[in-house]
A and B are shown apart, each in its own frame.
Chain A
Amino acid sequence: MQALSERLLGFLFPDGTDQWLTILRVGLGFQVTFYSFSLRNDWNYLLSGAGNGVVSRNLAEALLSVESHFVPRLGWLVTLAAPVGLSEETVLSIAWGCLLVAGCGLLVGLACRFSAILAWFLQICTAKSGGFVSYGVDNFMTIGLFYLMLSPLPDRFSLDWRIRNLRPKHPQLLGFWRRVLQLHLCVIYFFSGLTKCLGSGWWNGSSVWRALIRPPFNVIDPEILVRWNYVFPVAGIFVCLLEITYPFFIWNSQTRKIWLVCICVMHVGIGVTMGMYLFALIMIVLNVAAFGPGLSRMERCTASLQPQKAVS
């Protein structure tokens, strides 16, 4: 029992460098920045509560309150700013600006912890207050930012480390937080693959076809797509098998590279053929951060010879 417990702890708390954390921080920095820019012109329209938006934010927040009163939301910021005379529009614009600043902070690694917490808080406010207009990308951004803000920041490539000489308080937890991200990705792909396997459409290729011609994902003309109709069943089965087997093959050093490359190629494909660039980016960032470091032979040698270099 003692040996099993030690083995389990050894698995959950491996030694390692902070390379994965750099990838996660910079990747999420890009993601948050692109996310902010992509919604720049529609921000107030999507998130207004006082009858100025596409649907009232207040309705989504009221429904959220049925589940929990303590989930962060934009309504809190609007209420807090009201006594000082700030209008809702101004508060939303400030929130957008702060999210962009937090994204840039993560990108360069300035005030890493504060930037991560700010980005997580504002992103979750946006996703929850815009409940009716949020989709998968919001979920994965919350997951990534949640783990990032809890991880031992800063990493050695951040400005905090280089200029401000800041060091993480608990560097021994670097491996643990990477493990959490790795395990979470395994659950994500397993259930994503399992649920797809339950539909006949993924086995005969019709789901691939439908996904590609379904508005607003119909980036490619169906007249062009239909010429490739023999590829759809193969692609459907490939996606199902790739996802459901991810937790089994991503851990093995022999197969990890293949699965990681295939998953990233799949997400690039989704981004290019369906226009879901933000979704593609967040998934690639999470995958590369979790399983990318240590892939090449040279990196493995460096990591095994100098495990404490990054955290000293």
Chain B
Amino acid sequence: MRQKYVYASWLTLHFLLIASVSCRDTLQMVVQGPTILPFSFKNPLKKAEKIVSIALAQDLAASNPIRQALATYLHISGIEASYGYFAPNVPGSYKLVFELHYHDGRVEYELPSVSSAAAAFRIAGLLDNIGRTRSDALREHLVKMMAQSIWREHPDVETVRAIFGSIGLPSVRDFEHGKRESYEFLYAYDFSLQNEAPKPNDH
């Protein structure tokens, strides 16, 4: 009987954590919007999100042992993220094009490529991460690393320009009227062989 109580207690804690993570991410989603909920909902939900974050030890210092232990458990049990895939709406996707400039003036274009469809989903996820991050430094660093991987395949390239943009998806009606997916320029970075810091061109 004692064993049953121990397992039941673990289960209670485990599901409290699952529910807390799911609630926090759902509230975050509503706060960041847009959703079908009215704008007036945002403030109280923001407060609720903060309370749930406190319950998940998010307000403690990153080095705090309780926060570290909780984060470890969430990760090893696979419950650190919620389940709002393609929600509340399906976002557009991103595209990264590398413009390869050779010594002889030749210019070639290259896309990040992998050999299987399963890996292609992962590259698409990486581009989503680059597109959605709010940190310019992280975005630049990720694009630089991807440019380096292209460079290894084309060692005779002099400079690489990485052009990052978002793909706009047409609505059904627009598609029926002949509109197709569009590409919107967001950022460009220039990399040269001298290992210089990339020069962000525009965004």
Query: Which residues from chain A sit less than 8 Å from chain B, CB to CB?
Result: 8-9, 12-13, 35, 38-42, 45-46, 51-56, 59, 64, 66-72, 124, 128, 130, 132-136, 139-143, 146, 173, 176, 179-180, 183-184, 187-189, 191-192, 194-203, 205-207, 209-211, 213-216, 222, 226, 229, 232, 275-276, 278
Known: A187-B15, A226-B175, A276-B121. A195 touches B87 (CB 8 A): yes
Q: Are B90 and A201 in contact (CB under 8 A)?
A: yes
B22 at the interface (CB under 8 A from A): yes
A67 to B74, CA, bound (A): 11
Q: Of A56, A198, A215, which one neighbours B93 at CB under 8 angstroms?
A: A215
Q: Are A195 and B88 in contact (CB under 8 A)?
A: yes
Q: Are A46 and B81 in contact (CB under 8 A)?
A: no
Report the minimum CB–CB distance from A161 to chain B (whole Å).
23
Q: Give every chain A residue within 8 A of B121 (Cβ-Cβ).
A: 135, 216, 275-276
Report the minimum CB–CB distance from A105 to chain B (whole Å).
20
Q: Are B72 and A278 in contact (CB under 8 A)?
A: no
Chain B: CB-nearest residue to A176: B7
Report the minimum CB–CB distance from B145 to chain A (whole Å).
4
A53 to B142, CA, bound (A): 11
Q: Are B84 and A133 in contact (CB under 8 A)?
A: no
In this complex, the member of B11, B169, B181 whose beta carbon has the largest number of chain A beta carbons within 10 angstroms is: B169
B120 at the interface (CB under 8 A from A): yes
Known: A71-B72, A180-B11. A199 touches B116 (CB 8 A): no
Q: Are A198 and B29 in contact (CB under 8 A)?
A: yes
**A-B pairs with the 4 shortest C-beta distances?**
A199-B88, A142-B78, A195-B87, A38-B118
Q: Are A133 and B122 in contact (CB under 8 A)?
A: yes
Q: Of A41, A179, A215, which one neighbours B124 at CB under 8 angstroms?
A: A215
Give the secondary structure class of B's interface. helix
Q: Of A46, A71, A207, A229, which one neighbours B76 at CB under 8 angstroms?
A: A71
Q: Of B7, B116, B141, which one neighbours A39 at CB under 8 angstroms?
A: B116
Stretch of B46-54, B97-105, B146-154, B184-192 lying at the A interface: B146-154
Q: Give every chain B residue within 8 A of A276 (Cβ-Cβ).
A: 121
Q: Are B81 and A139 in contact (CB under 8 A)?
A: yes
In this complex, the member of B26, B62, B88, B148 whose beta carbon has the largest number of chain A beta carbons within 10 angstroms is: B88
Report the minimum CB–CB distance from A196 to chain B (whole Å).
5
Q: Give every chain A residue within 8 A of B118 (Cβ-Cβ).
A: 35, 38-39, 278
Q: Are A53 and B149 in contact (CB under 8 A)?
A: yes
Q: Are B68 and A201 in contact (CB under 8 A)?
A: no
Q: Give every chain A residue within 8 A of B29 (Cβ-Cβ).
A: 195, 198
B92 at the interface (CB under 8 A from A): yes
Q: Are A134 and B81 in contact (CB under 8 A)?
A: no
Q: Are A51 and B148 in contact (CB under 8 A)?
A: yes
Interface residues on B, range: 35 or more
Report the minimum CB–CB distance from A198 to chain B (whole Å).
4
Report the minimum CB–CB distance from B122 to chain A (whole Å).
4
Identify which of residues 143-168 in chain B touch chain A, using a CB-to-CB cut-off of 8 Å.
145-146, 148-149, 152, 167
A38 to B117, CA, bound (A): 8
Known: A9-B4, A12-B11, A130-B122. A45 touches B68 (CB 8 A): no
Q: Of A46, A53, A198, which one neighbours B88 at CB under 8 angstroms?
A: A198
Known: A12-B7, A134-B125. A41 touches B116 (CB 8 A): yes
Report the minimum CB–CB distance from B84 to chain A (whole Å).
4
Known: A9-B4, A132-B129, A214-B93. A180 touches B14 (CB 8 A): yes
Report the minimum CB–CB distance from B38 to chain A (whole Å).
12
Chain A: CB-nearest residue to B90: A210
Report 20 cross-chain contacts, Cβ distance below 8 Å, ordered by A residue. A12-B4, A39-B116, A41-B115, A42-B116, A54-B145, A71-B75, A134-B122, A136-B85, A143-B77, A176-B11, A195-B26, A195-B29, A198-B29, A198-B87, A199-B35, A210-B90, A213-B181, A214-B90, A232-B172, A275-B117
Chain A: CB-nearest residue to B36: A200
A291 to B68, CA, bound (A): 34
A37 to B178, CA, bound (A): 40
Q: Are A132 and B169 in contact (CB under 8 A)?
A: no
Beyond contacts A195-B84, A206-B89: 11 other A-B pairs, Cβ-Cβ < 8 A, are: A35-B118, A38-B118, A69-B68, A136-B85, A139-B81, A140-B78, A142-B76, A198-B29, A211-B90, A226-B172, A232-B172
A266 to B147, CA, bound (A): 38
Q: Are B114 and A42 in contact (CB under 8 A)?
A: yes
Q: Are B75 and A191 in contact (CB under 8 A)?
A: no
Known: A195-B29, A198-B88, A206-B171. A39 touches B83 (CB 8 A): no
